[in-house]
Structure 1
Amino acid sequence: MSNTTTDDDKPFLIVGSGSETVAPGLHILRGQGQSFVAETDAGLVVIDAGPGGAVTAGMIEALRELSDAPVHALCYSHGHVGYNAGVPEWLAHARERGEPAPRVIAHRNVPRRYARYRETQALQHRMAEVQFNRAPGFFDKRLAMHEPGETFDERLVIGSGDRRIELFWAPSETDDAIALWSPVQRVLYGGAALLDSIPNIGTPFRTMRDTVRWAGTLEAMAALNPRKAVREFGPVIDGEAAVQQVLTHTARALRWLRAEVVRLMNEGLNEQQVLARIRFPEELFGVAWMKPSYGDPGYIVRDIYRSENGWWDRNPTSLHPEAPEDAAGAVAAAISDKAGVIASAQALADAGRWQLALHVIDLLATAPGEAPEIVQARRLKAAWLRERARQVASYVSRNLYRVSAEMIEQGTQARFGIR
């Protein structure tokens, strides 16, 4: 894979530098996503230490422009690796100042997640390379995990009186996500549960995320009646009415998706048929905070479908398959008019029907070997994947199309199991 960077491929999770004061004693620190700082009578509480290196150093510098108080606690907004790779820098900062080490706090599910990530480390790194369009090995030293020193289940209060804050479990993108609530100022930091795009459910590389549980988390947040809500990504939502609108509208859209997918499954439709049939109402999915800039509503459909179905695609041929390369080779060998297949696929592409062209060209492009028609089919597939990348809004989809095209051209797709 190449590691070229365009405006469309900038590090998606790094949101800039500096700070923003949301309310007295409550601040955003920009790093990997938007971290958060609360000034309590126990000391500073920091949500997310950042990815380490220069980004975390900049976060610490920005914090010290806000307050000289000691850091009482570093808290993990959720267990995705990278958001808290910078913990050692914060601990070193406290030592340099002669202060006690901050408490390192996370939800009780984070250690279990970290154990799974360590078990599947090579897989996690390969998936991140594809999803974020980075060169092989890029994440080998960038996804450090630091175990929390303490965990909690449902709720944890830090500080007292008017300067207290509450951490609470907010299952959403992960089952270990938390949020922060300032009850006196009625300011919510939503963490991974609150974005300025459609909830990140059903991503192609990740385990399932519970759509209805995420909706329930947003509804619980709305019940707090926040005056302001800070997103992990995106602008602060200011005003009680605006916060209610975003939280309840998003929850309603997620619950609609669940009900609609279940309705179509009950009709007997398989996953591909559900995806072809479903239509996303503009009034639910056309608003600014539901734009598919990272995820996609079709991704959510797939996760809901998977939550109620097994792995079988309803084609009996796939129950006990041959090796993919053997099956693809046999299909290619059975096609006597390979030039006709290529011409048919090219005609679809010329008509702008890139996805149908990909379906047809796969009759040859996934086959092994270096026969001229096979090589030509792969070249065309790579070119059409780039065309598809221009058509989709989702950052993840664009990267998967582009990285797959590069690997097909370089002959390295087998390393990732890509066809």
Structure 2
Amino acid sequence: MPQSKDATSFTEAANAALLQQLNWSDTQDYELASRGFIATLNDPVIRDETGRPAWNLSAFAFLEAETAPASVNPSLWRQSRLNALYQGLFQVTDGIYQIRDFDLSVMTIIDTGASYIVIDPLVTPPTAEAGMALVYQHIGRKPIVAVIYTHSHIDHWGGVKGVISQADVTAGQVKIIAPERFMEFAISENVIAGNVMSRRASYMYGNLLPQDTTGQVGAGLGQTTSSGVPTLIEPTDTITHTGQTMVIDGVEIEFQLTPGTEAPAEMNFLFPQRRALCMAENVSHNMHNLYTLRGAIVRNPKVWAHYIDEAIDLFDGRYDVVFSSHHWPTWGAEAGLDYLKKQRDMYKYLHDETMRLANQGYTLLEIPEIVESQLPAELFNAWYNRGYYGTVNHNVKAVYQHYLGFFDGNPANLHPLPPEDAGKKYVEFMGGADNLLTQARASFEKGEYRWVAQVVNHLVFADPDNQAARALQADALEQLGYQAESGPWRNFYLSAAKELRNGVIDLGAPKTASPDVIKAMSLDMFFDLLAVRMIGPKAAGKKLVFNATFTDTGEQYLLMVENCVLNYARGKQSAEADASLTMSRTALNEIVLGEAKLAEKLATGEARIDGNPEKLVEFLSLLDTFEFWFNIVTP
């Protein structure tokens, strides 16, 4: 099996250039990341209930070396060391603690005196449970009376059942507090595009790479994600407006709603008695994504900057420490204010410069190069504004996409050939595969890796079995990965190189939505997903009508297949339906999760079909299945 290669002299030179550009004498982040350390685990391996490793605190021990190897961008090396080496339980201020480097995100614990409030319980239950065990061991065992989800991304709620149970919430012993529309967005992101987003996430977080100096070194925002099945418990209390306050066991919390920022449902909040400001994921010690490489709706930096600005005004003079759901806190009112201002202005600069240049007629591919060539050092040389997660390049493209979409105005780019057809034409125009490879190898020897990746990609798509092309493409992408300051960019490049060399390795299809997500999904969302799964061309000429009744929720739906699409109407039924399906929502969940089959439910009487069951069978034959391990870098 082909192995990773060393960094070339061009990559060494590119990485060394950063040593001259950035202020390496500023080591304050190391002091901040280690401040307040209390303890970590004796056993570095956190295991799930079956005994399988969910997280390994020692996986990135190779980052203990202060000097970056040639195969890693030195700025990313620095960020990864800060994320990986400062792990365990930390005190932020009186009565506020954090668990760091137990997952991609950070879990915060508020000690009310008699109880705990938990903020953002990580990605999966094993890591969240291990974090709370450390709290109980060193701070004391107290009941958890509230959990706060700062926003709708899964790394801030997936581990909730590692710290509390559904029974605790149902019994009224624990509140779960979340921003308005949390459930809608928490569920929807994992449904319609769940399969493709999860596959691309395997590249983004480097899940397929070895954890070493030529593989995964981190994701910038954190190291990577824990393995396991995320959980979800529905909120009991919703924050609906800025200025809303709550008092939990004597601890006052003042909320700021920030919709459409880093997440579509998100909120910041102040603990005025502790003079501590939680900025959720709206500020962090890196440039964040305006567009995430796993794929998602782009975020508007104008809105993002506005809400940071609002927080500056709203909480002015009332905090001595700023902490977030990733990375380490910033202490001191002056330092905190400077941090907020520069994060605000970073996003606003990317927005304003992109649209200034767009209005001059520059295009999607031109603007990032221009913006990157003239970044103001006072903003973009600040360590917490470096592109460890998002990058200037793809964030600028996100701004352009938000306003103008994919089309740059040049009709030559309006209807280009698809990659396989275009690839064959490019190869033909370049004098054939051998000539293309000869010239591309010469470009590789000059260190022109971006061009090599671009041009050889045509040959790979024209002839995916051309091993020489795959090998050269892999070599070029590998060097680009070694140079990348962004963790996700590095992981994408290196994952692609691995796939080109070794092919797609089927590790078993993971569930794109966990059981708790499926159970929390509204029936509208379920039927939306069903509509996406229906193979339109296969439904040509068909007209099918079904009633659906769910006995335990009392909901009724009318489903109609016509004109090659599936439509549905809530609260309606038709006397002319081809068939009527009656079952419980619980039974539907079991079928969706693969725990049971419809035939089994019919046999036991848990489901009933009235009318023509063959019509339902006909409809089910129209549904597509999604393969998880699809090719990404080859046709």
Report the Cα offset of residue 258 of structure 1: 1.5
Identity %: 20
The reply to whether residue 193 of structure 1 matches residue 247 of structure 2 is: no
User: Is 1:275 aligned with 2:363?
Assistant: no
**Cα shift readout 1:254-274 (whole Å, capped 9, x = no counterpart):** 222211111110110111111
Once the two structures are superposed, what CA deviation does each residue of 1:289-330 show, in whole Å capped at 9, x if it has no partner? 112222212222111111111222445344334443233233
Contact 1:366-1:378 within 8 A present in 2 as well: no
Paired with 2:156 and 2:354, the residues of 1 have a C-alpha distance of 33
Contact 1:40 1:165 in 2 (8 A): no
Is the aligned partner of 1:381 residue 2:476?
A: no
- Report the AA paired with residue 367 of structure 1: A
Q: What is aligned with 1:121?
A: 194
Note if 1:151 corresponds to 2:238.
yes
Any unmatched runs of 5+ in structure 1? none
CA distance 1:87–1:15, change in 2 (3 Å): farther
Per-residue deviation, 1:385: 0.3
1:268-347 mapped onto 2 (5 Å cutoff)? 268-278=361-371, 279-347=374-442
Q: Look up the equivalent residue of 2:498 and give its one-letter code.
A: E
Task: Provide the secondary structure at the position in 1 that maps to 2:304.
Answer: helix
Give the TM-score taking structure 2 as reference length. Answer: 0.59
Residue 441 of structure 2 is aligned to residue 354 of structure 1:
no
Distance 1:122 1:80 in 2: 16
TM-fit CA distance, 1:360: 2.6
Q: Which has the larger radius of gyration?
A: 2
| Alpha-carbon separation, structure 2, partners of 1:94 and 1:24 | 31
Aligned to 1:235: 328
Q: CA RMSD in A?
A: 3.3
Superposed displacement of residue 38, structure 1: 2.2
The one-letter amino acid of 1:71's match is: I
Distance in 1 separating the partners of 2:130 and 2:85: 12
Which residue pairs with 2:625 in the alignment? Answer: none
1:398 aligns with 2:487: no
Does structure 2 retain, via aligned residues, the 8 Å contact 1:94–1:102?
no
Pair 1:29 & 2:103 matched: no
Range that drifts further, 34-43 or 58-67: 34-43
Q: How does 1:136-285 map to 2 (within 5 A)?
A: 141-155=228-242, 156-159=244-247, 163-171=251-259, 172-204=261-293, 205-223=295-313, 224-225=315-316, 226-278=319-371, 279-285=374-380
Displacement after TM superposition at 1:11 (Å): 12
Where 1:201 maps in the other structure, the secondary structure is: coil
Output aligned runs, 1:31-46, within 5 Å.
31-32=102-103, 33-40=105-112, 43-46=115-118
8 Å CA contact 1:129–1:139 kept in 2: the answer is no
Q: How far apart, in 2, do the equivalents of 1:26 and 1:349 lie? A: 52
For the structure 1 residues 321 and 359, does the alpha-carbon distance in structure 2 shift closer, same or farther, using more than 3 Å as the test? closer
Change in 2 beyond 3 A, CA 1:199/1:51: closer
The count of residues paired between Structure 1 and Structure 2 equals: 413
Contact 1:48 1:76 in 2 (8 A): yes
Question: Does structure 1 conserve the Cα–Cα contact (< 8 Å) formed by 2:282 and 2:308?
Answer: yes
Q: Which moved more, 1:64-73 or 1:186-195?
A: 64-73
CA distance in 2, matches of 1:178, 1:13: 24
Return closer, same or farther for 1:339/1:66 CA change in 2, 3 Å cut-off. same
> Quick one: structure 1 residues 220 and 67, their matched pair in 2 at CA, closer, same or farther if it must change by over 3 Å?
farther
Contact persistence 1:166–1:180 (CA under 8 A):
yes
For 1:94 and 1:74, the matched residues in 2 are separated by 14
| Stretch of structure 1 that moved more, 14-23 or 47-56 | 14-23
Q: 51, 54, 73: which one pairs with 2:146?
A: 73
Instruction: Look up the SS of the partner of 1:118 in the other structure.
Output: coil
TM-score (norm 1): 0.87
Letter in 1 for 2:91: T
**Any unmatched runs of 5+ in structure 2?**
5-58, 64-76, 210-224, 506-628
Task: State the 1:346 CA deviation.
Answer: 1.4
Q: Which moved more, 1:328-337 or 1:102-111?
A: 328-337
1:49-101 per-position Cα deviation (integer Å, ceiling 9, x unaligned): 22234311222213323244321211112211133222222224986xxx854
